[in-house]
Structure 1
Amino acid sequence: MTLSMHPPLSPVAEQRVLLSGVTWPQYESLLEIFGDRPGLRLLYSEGMLEIFIPSSEHEMLKKVISRLLERYAEEVDIVIHGYGSTTFRSEAKAQGLEPDECYCVDTLKEERPDFAIEINLMSGGIDKLAIYQGLGVPEVLIWQNNALALYGLRGEIYQEVPCSQFFPGLDFGLLAQYVQPYNQPQAVKAFLEAIRLRQE
């Protein structure tokens, strides 16, 4: 299957505000006020608060990556439960965020997801891996500079890893080739064809 190519996506319209000296009660109050507002994310790390409004490109990228991952899981019979951008937080660790997308594998776990997806189109801001570390999320997949990088929690630190404990047969380099937001239906079909060819 041939897929038409489009120019690289631009981070235009991404908006971010950083505030320091924010207490945990203030963060929780802001979550109550703004937590259900679509298109607005709150990230908190040890007194730093980031108010983030993702661009349409950001949202398209997270959606195509999640579609590819979900179809792969269906294809190889891995049970996943999607949480979307649910807010996860830990007062003890003073960390909180809403992942772009996240999943529990096999069984639902209320305290944290097993696997999260993050889109980084802008530099700067709060270190999301530090938040995920505080929350104890085992794996985080990050899209940055038109490539995917997978990070696994080893002890108390993240290390870039070549394969996932939750999706052990998935080649993320292959998946990255089909991250084509303007061709989502065709990209998903072509990705599944590539997976099936590898399984023959």
Structure 2
Amino acid sequence: MTVVIPVAKPVSKMQLAPGSTVTIPDVSWSEFEAILAELGHKRRSRVAYIQGTLESMVPLPDHEIPKDLLSDIVKALVKFQGRRYEPFGSTTFKREGIAGVEPDACFYIQNYQRMIGRRRLEPDDPPPDLAIQSDVTSKTKLDAYAAVGVPELWVYDNGTLKIYILRDGIYLVSDYSPLFGEIPIKQVIPTFVERAWQVGNLQALEEFEVAIANR
């Protein structure tokens, strides 16, 4: 049974403009859990928590096209490789008492079989193999991803893709993706995101699939 604790920090009442971020210090883990319950699932904001610091961010409307296209590209890549995946969207991933984070999208690839049919995360479930962010990602959010243990994180912002790989608890910027090492993800994705602004997501994705198939 979940006990909801009254929260003195009315995060759910804050009216944040798209693109804005608010950071709140001195938030206990129980307060963080209560704030998540207050906010509910039907919201545009994304939260990150790391050792007492809570960050709430509302994405800009124009972050949806890159987010959706990156998700579709990951699905196309996994299919091209003859592999399988389980998507977990913007699920809140936690490391009890320490960190919590909500990606724009995420995928289980190496661990996909274990997560088939999972309606709720179990305490011993692994983190997703790949998480995606389509915005400027703060140190709070990066630290939260690292604490949760997400091995690969893609951050797309302003025409640039950064690939972060977790090594010994610290993210290092990489020029390639260990999941898709034979494909120049860092160069290819910005090209097709820009193409999506010109011709739409569906055509950009179709062109991407043709380009990958012809490699």
TM-score bracket, shorter-length normalisation: 0.7 to 0.9
- Structure-2 separation of matches of 1:107 and 1:48: 30
Query: 2:142 is matched with which residue?
Result: 129
Are 1:176 and 2:176 an aligned pair? no
CA distance in 2, matches of 1:169, 1:78: 15
SS of 2:18's equivalent in the other structure is coil
What's the offset of the Cα at 1:120?
Answer: 1.9
Q: Which aligned runs of 4 or more in structure 1 are off by greater than 4 angstroms?
A: none
Partners of 1:15 and 1:75 in 2: CA distance: 37
- For residues 165-190 of structure 1, the C-alpha deviation after alignment (integer angstroms, 9 at most, x for no partner) is 22222221112210144320111111
2:140 and 2:51 mapped to 1: Cα distance? 11
- TM-superposed deviation, 1:22: 0.7
Deviation of 1:65 after TM superposition, in Å, equals 1.0
Amino acid in structure 2 at the alignment position of 1:170: I
Deviates more, 1:152-161 or 1:100-109: 100-109
Q: How far, CA to CA, are the matches of 2:67 and 2:190 in structure 1? A: 12
Residue matched to 1:29: 34
Q: 1:50 touches 1:126 (CA, 8 Å); kept in 2?
A: no
Q: CA deviation at 1:126?
A: 4.7
Identity between Structure 1 and Structure 2 (%) = 29
Pair 1:85 & 2:100 matched: no
TM-score (norm 1): 0.84
> Structure 2 matches for 1:140-159, cutoff 5 A?
140-159=153-172
Is 1:74 the counterpart of 2:73? The answer is: no
Q: CA separation in 2, counterparts of 1:52 and 1:156? A: 24
Structure 2: 5+ residue runs without aligned partners?
A: 1-16, 116-124
Of the candidates 116, 121, 126, which is equivalent to residue 111 of structure 1? Answer: 126
Matches within 5 A, 1:2-17: 13-17=18-22
Which structure shows the higher strand fraction?
1
Which structure would you say has the larger RCO, counting Cα contacts within 8 Å and 6 or more residues apart? 1
1:128-177 CA-to-partner distances (Å, cap 9, x unmatched) read: 22111101111101112311111111122111122222222222111221
Taking the aligned partners of 1:49 and 1:153, their CA distance within structure 2 comes to 22
Aligned residue pairs: how many?
Answer: 184
Q: Distance in 2 between matches of 1:184 and 1:59?
A: 11
Instruction: Provide the aligned C-alpha RMSD in A.
Output: 1.8
- In structure 1, runs of 5+ residues without a counterpart are 1-11
The one-letter amino acid of 2:57's match is: F
Instruction: Assess if the C-alpha contact under 8 Å between 1:140 and 1:151 holds in 2.
Output: yes
